[in-house]
Chain A
Amino acid sequence: MNQRRSTQYYPMDYWLLFAAILLAGIGLIMVFSSSGMMAERFYHDKYLFFKKQAMFSVVGIAAMIFCARVNRKFFYDLTYVWMFVAIMLLGLCLVIGTTAGGARRWIHMGPFSLQPLEFAKPALVLYLAYFFARKQEIMQVKTFSVGFIPPFAATGVMSLLLLMQPDFGGAMLLAILLMFMCLAGGTRIIYLLGAALAGGWGGWLLIASSPYRLKRWTAFLDPFATAQTTGYQLVQSLYAFGSGRFFGAGLGAGKQKLLFLPEAHNDFIMAVVGEELGFLGLSLVLLLMGFLFLRAFRVAFLQEDLMDRLTAFGMTIVLALGACMNLAVVLGTVPPKGVPMPFISYGGSSLIVSFICVGILLNLSRNRT
């Protein structure tokens, strides 16, 4: 460390920190609002999910502080370890995972469950950043064998494991993450386009091959046609948004969450935000999130070292991509996928990983080498 004369130190990006904690606070309130009655009725504890989410927040904030403070070598040097652990968890999920809604996405650990996908995201970012930063040095990125195959193979393994759960949305998310990382990392655009086309074609084959996925696609295109079956969730989500109008029904006064909207505190929590806080409240939440992404992006943009920059960029993409996909799903613009809203949705894995992403960004914001 003593040789790092040129490193400039900055205070960490408090705006980013502030936005993250504020969003988690809003999330906590919305989790309570959307789960309270349900928890009271079915678990006889109104605060069940609220308490758990509050606990996850504490753990998440601790993890964020750790990530912000620790020497970044801790992430970089252990890249392969993170990759290995993430792939092991994804594999383990297929073996001992809990089946819920026809998919094996969770590993139960005592009273809590872990969603390996969430942890796979930052691990993959670290690996891709490390890969592109190192290969850049020897100008190999532009070649097919070095610049294309390893990152695609690593992402491919993870995606394959996700597809076996099956979690098409998760696989999709990792694939898009890879695309953006490649783009920023310097892979030839032509390869990316080719891969995107191939991926799109493969994706279509996958969709068409499984009636379950095809049905979910058609549900998205006209949810009201299948309002009682496949389109149900989306219709209820749209009803919730629609019921909110501009000013909303008022915090806690939404009806959809209790009666009709399954997973209201989970993937569809933004529908509850829309119903209870209205377009006004939703806009403020989106504005705050946009601000968080902006600050995160700024951290990435200001990094001069490629490894740092790609890492910061990747973490930003993980958050922004999750948010975009979630919002797109609940608003019915893309086919339904189980993607949580970062910081807002109930769920320990998602919340803690979101905090870890911000923690790493905060770490990088402190100095630009």
Chain B
Amino acid sequence: MTKRVQRSRGGAPARPKTDLGKLKLLLVGLIFAAIWVALWGRAAYVQLYLGPELKKGAEKQSLATGFELGERGRIYDRNGSILATSVESKSVYVSPIKVDNAAQTAQILAQILDVPKKSVEHDLASKKGFVWIKRQIGDREAQALEAEKLPGVFLTNEYRRMFPNHHSAGQVLGFVGVDGLGLEGMEKRFETRMAGRQAKYVVQRDATGRRLYLDDQGREMDIRGADVKLTLDTVIQDAAEQSLAEAVTKYNGRSGMAIVVKVDTGEILALAHFPFLNPNAASLSRPSARRFRAALDMFEPGSIMKPFVFAAALEQKVIDQSKIFDCENGKWVLRGKTIRDTHPYRWLSANRILRYSSNIGTAKIGLALGAQPYYSALRKLGFGERSGLDIPSESAGLLRQPKEWGEFDLATISFGQGIGVTGLQMARAYMVLANKGVPKPLKLVLDPAPTPQPPANRVFSEQTVETVLSMMREVVEEDGTGKLARIPGVLGAGKTGTAQKAAATGKGYGEGNVASFVGLYPGDKPEYLIMVIVDEPSPVAFGGIVCAPAVRDIAIKTLSYYNRLPEAKASTQPEPSESSMQAKATRAPSATAGANVPDLTGLPVRRALEVLGKRGIVPEIKGSGMVISRQKPLPGEAWPEAKSTSKDGGFVLWLQEGTK
């Protein structure tokens, strides 16, 4: 230490000044101690004496400023394209006790919002703390109302549901009511997940003025609903819808549905219903158009049921492929009732029975198999129970107990009459054939991930399934009933169905038919399962004519979209649709995928998607209509990154109505 320090220390003990210094220190210390104790006392006073009152004040203020509804979760397709979203709009409510001048307020509200003055007056007289006046009003109305600054009248944010792809997958998505409640389809199924929560909010008192949302207990909460991601792919969905619409309109059907399933995962890529439902304007639609028919509507499937009786019979070794049956020349009386075939045959081997879809032959196979084994196979295939997709009010179909089956019932159920199924059930059953004999649950939702199910037990041996598939390939690839579903270069397997509909009288069968076709592509190792069903087509009712071309159409688009179509074969493929034909004639040469971006303008959307699909590009579609009016990048420019999807920097197509 320094000398200074030593010097001072030297005389320290004897100097009274130091003691005085210490006294001063002590004095200061005591002052601080007193202050500290006083502050402690103040804390006791505030916390213990004033506590109850302060607490009351604190609680009162947390029930604060107002409330707000969170945004409803969105629905996305598998690639993240928005299928359903919400747009903010204002709604008006009143808090009657806070209204100053009821008569004047009612007058102004009625005027601005164009609502009956009487009803507003009635609302204002209400004893409730909160009454809606008008919901989802326009911006101009909201502005006018805000300018009036009426006491007791409040504007709050609400959300209006928007479905950007209009009718695409309309029945699957469902729709919401004006109060934001999901009423049908996925909107209903995921109501609790997607619904925006309603919360009181307070405005943070810092410079940012941010809002905090509170639940009833005053805890902070997230008011935005959770999203849902479906397995659907908008591109495939659009393709399925177009082909389905063509098939239904061309053959004057009442309605139709189409399903595309990715076999390896069971994911439903497309689930189309016609007539379309535009969920943006669901209230304007006919109730029948709103039905999620694939899940709700039960129908008698007819011949598309046959492969299952074949598979069960093969599995039980009741038949083999070449076993022959007498098809009775097209007319067979069993227990006093007549079974007919479309074409008369005599002796047919099992594979030909399926190829030509003989009811009589199939009935005999069913009889040879017996009711109990057939029933048990049907149950294992999922008939008589819901599809597992949890669609609201889904039907379980109608499968009676085998002990109730008479011989004739067994015969008809073998070829798909006298049993009720849904489209989803049928697709699920075919998944067993597509998946080497093991059930594969269908999936419609990616997020939230469905609860994993225990692996299902094998229904048919691989050998059996291979035999049935080979028969189904004959249906398409040989001179079978499904040859219109043939795609050169890609093996197809399938089965037609032309079911009779029960008569409206409830007794016997009427004039109506249900035409159907199920296709598996490629037919030897199925990757995609495609099913089209048309209700009451006329004048032609055969599934092989009404539905097979649509399945083929969808299959081509699906395969090309996933780059599974042999290039050369695909482009030489004749296009049945008129608009495509026209485009082909004028544009096709330039519209194949070359080194640079082709000119797509004037092409139908579908065709353009096909071209782009081959490059793995999913364009963003703007506007509405069927024909491309503009494109980005321009013709001749380099291809954009193949990876880019509908987001920034990708391919954009502008549409316009009309043909050119």
In the complex, the chain A residue whose C-beta lies closest to that of B208 is: A42
Instruction: Give the chain A neighbours of B25 by CB distance below 8 A.
Output: 184, 297, 300-301, 309, 313
Is A243 a contact of B54 with CB atoms below 8 Å? yes
Is A239 a contact of B32 with CB atoms below 8 Å? no
Q: Does B205 contact A (CB under 8 A)?
A: yes
Is B212 a contact of A259 with CB atoms below 8 Å? yes
Is A3 a contact of B6 with CB atoms below 8 Å? yes
Given contacts A258-B212, A327-B39, contact A242 B46 (CB under 8 A): yes
Shortest C-beta distance, A173 to chain B (Å), equals 14
Instruction: Give the chain A neighbours of B27 by CB distance below 8 A.
Output: 183
A238 to B51, alpha carbons, bound, how many Å?
A: 9
Q: Does B62 contact A (CB under 8 A)?
A: yes
Instruction: Give the chain B neighbours of A243 by CB distance below 8 A.
Output: 51, 54-55, 58-59
Instruction: Give the chain A neighbours of B40 by CB distance below 8 A.
Output: 283, 286
A306 to B10, alpha carbons, bound, how many Å?
A: 12
Interface stretch of the complex, out of A200-208, A274-282, A348-356: A274-282
Q: Does B115 contact A (CB under 8 A)?
A: no
Q: Specify which of A73, A259, A279, A324 is in contact with B43 (CB 8 Å cutoff).
A: A279
Is B58 a contact of A239 with CB atoms below 8 Å? yes
Q: Does A50 contact B (CB under 8 A)?
A: no
Q: Does A328 contact B (CB under 8 A)?
A: yes
Given contacts A241-B47, A242-B57, A245-B55, contact A6 B9 (CB under 8 A): yes
A256 to B24, alpha carbons, bound, how many Å?
A: 42
A239 to B61, alpha carbons, bound, how many Å?
A: 10
Instruction: Give the chain A neighbours of B214 by CB distance below 8 A.
Output: 259
A315 to B102, alpha carbons, bound, how many Å?
A: 67
Instruction: Give the chain A neighbours of B12 by CB distance below 8 A.
Output: 304-305
Instruction: Give the chain A neighbours of B48 by CB distance below 8 A.
Output: 245-246, 279
Is B202 a contact of A259 with CB atoms below 8 Å? yes
Is A242 a contact of B28 with CB atoms below 8 Å? no
Is B36 a contact of A137 with CB atoms below 8 Å? no
A245 to B43, alpha carbons, bound, how many Å?
A: 10
Q: Does B35 contact A (CB under 8 A)?
A: yes
Is A242 a contact of B53 with CB atoms below 8 Å? yes
Is A4 a contact of B8 with CB atoms below 8 Å? no
Q: Does B204 contact A (CB under 8 A)?
A: yes
* A: contact size bracket: 35 or more
Is B46 a contact of A369 with CB atoms below 8 Å? no
Q: Does A7 contact B (CB under 8 A)?
A: yes
Shortest C-beta distance, A359 to chain B (Å), equals 19
Q: Does B147 contact A (CB under 8 A)?
A: no
Is B47 a contact of A260 with CB atoms below 8 Å? no
Is B51 a contact of A41 with CB atoms below 8 Å? no
A262 to B212, alpha carbons, bound, how many Å?
A: 14
Given contacts A6-B6, A7-B1, A279-B43, contact A286 B220 (CB under 8 A): no
Q: Does B50 contact A (CB under 8 A)?
A: yes
Interface residues of B in 426-448 (CB under 8 A from A): none
A289 to B61, alpha carbons, bound, how many Å?
A: 33
Give the number of chain B interface residues (Cβ < 8 Å): 53
Is B47 a contact of A244 with CB atoms below 8 Å? yes
Is B58 a contact of A186 with CB atoms below 8 Å? no
Shortest C-beta distance, B157 to chain A (Å), equals 19
Is A317 a contact of B28 with CB atoms below 8 Å? yes
A352 to B205, alpha carbons, bound, how many Å?
A: 29
A121 to B43, alpha carbons, bound, how many Å?
A: 27
Instruction: Give the chain B neighbours of A320 by CB distance below 8 A.
Output: 32, 36
Is B39 a contact of A328 with CB atoms below 8 Å? yes
Q: Does B346 contact A (CB under 8 A)?
A: no
Instruction: Give the chain B neighbours of A306 by CB distance below 8 A.
Output: 8, 18, 21
Instruction: Give the chain B neighbours of A255 by CB distance below 8 A.
Output: 58, 62, 218
Q: Does A68 contact B (CB under 8 A)?
A: no
Interface residues of B in 20-36 (CB under 8 A from A): 21-22, 24-29, 32-33, 35-36
Interface residues of B in 59-117 (CB under 8 A from A): 59, 61-62
Given contacts A241-B43, A324-B39, contact A369 B6 (CB under 8 A): yes
Is A279 a contact of B47 with CB atoms below 8 Å? yes
Is A239 a contact of B57 with CB atoms below 8 Å? yes
0/1 per residue, B531-551, Cβ < 8 Å to A? 000000000000000000000
In the complex, the chain B residue whose C-beta lies closest to that of A304 is: B12
Is B1 a contact of A184 with CB atoms below 8 Å? no
0/1 per residue, A203-244, Cβ < 8 Å to B? 000000000000000000000000000001001101111111
Q: Does B42 contact A (CB under 8 A)?
A: yes
Is B8 a contact of A305 with CB atoms below 8 Å? yes
Is B54 a contact of A286 with CB atoms below 8 Å? no
In the complex, the chain A residue whose C-beta lies closest to that of B13 is: A304
0/1 per residue, A285-307, Cβ < 8 Å to B? 01001100100010011001111
Shortest C-beta distance, A53 to chain B (Å), equals 19
In the complex, the chain A residue whose C-beta lies closest to that of B7 is: A137
Is A242 a contact of B50 with CB atoms below 8 Å? yes
In the complex, the chain B residue whose C-beta lies closest to that of A331 is: B42
Is A241 a contact of B39 with CB atoms below 8 Å? no
Given contacts A259-B212, A278-B47, A333-B42, contact A183 B58 (CB under 8 A): no
Shortest C-beta distance, B482 to chain A (Å), equals 57
Is B26 a contact of A301 with CB atoms below 8 Å? yes
Instruction: Give the chain B neighbours of A301 by CB distance below 8 A.
Output: 22, 25-26, 29
Instruction: Give the chain B neighbours of A313 by CB distance below 8 A.
Output: 25, 28
Shortest C-beta distance, B22 to chain A (Å), equals 6
Instruction: Give the chain B neighbours of A328 by CB distance below 8 A.
Output: 39
Is A180 a contact of B28 with CB atoms below 8 Å? yes
Task: Name the residue in B7, B59, B204, B218 with the highest tally of chain A Cβ atoms < 10 Å from its Cβ.
Answer: B204
Shortest C-beta distance, B49 to chain A (Å), equals 9
A239 to B52, alpha carbons, bound, how many Å?
A: 10
In the complex, the chain A residue whose C-beta lies closest to that of B49 is: A242
A340 to B206, alpha carbons, bound, how many Å?
A: 18
Interface residues of B in 528-581 (CB under 8 A from A): none
Shortest C-beta distance, A31 to chain B (Å), equals 17
Q: Does B5 contact A (CB under 8 A)?
A: yes
Q: Does A153 contact B (CB under 8 A)?
A: no
Is B204 a contact of A259 with CB atoms below 8 Å? yes
Instruction: Give the chain B neighbours of A6 by CB distance below 8 A.
Output: 6, 9
A255 to B218, alpha carbons, bound, how many Å?
A: 8
Shortest C-beta distance, B438 to chain A (Å), equals 45
Q: Does B403 contact A (CB under 8 A)?
A: no
Q: Does A21 contact B (CB under 8 A)?
A: no
Instruction: Give the chain B neighbours of A256 by CB distance below 8 A.
Output: 58
Nearest first, the 10 A-B pairs at minimum CB distance are: A242-B54, A239-B58, A279-B47, A242-B51, A245-B51, A243-B55, A241-B46, A327-B39, A304-B12, A331-B42
Can you list 12 A-B contacts (CB < 8 A)? A7-B1, A184-B28, A186-B17, A236-B205, A243-B55, A255-B218, A258-B220, A301-B22, A301-B25, A323-B36, A332-B46, A333-B42
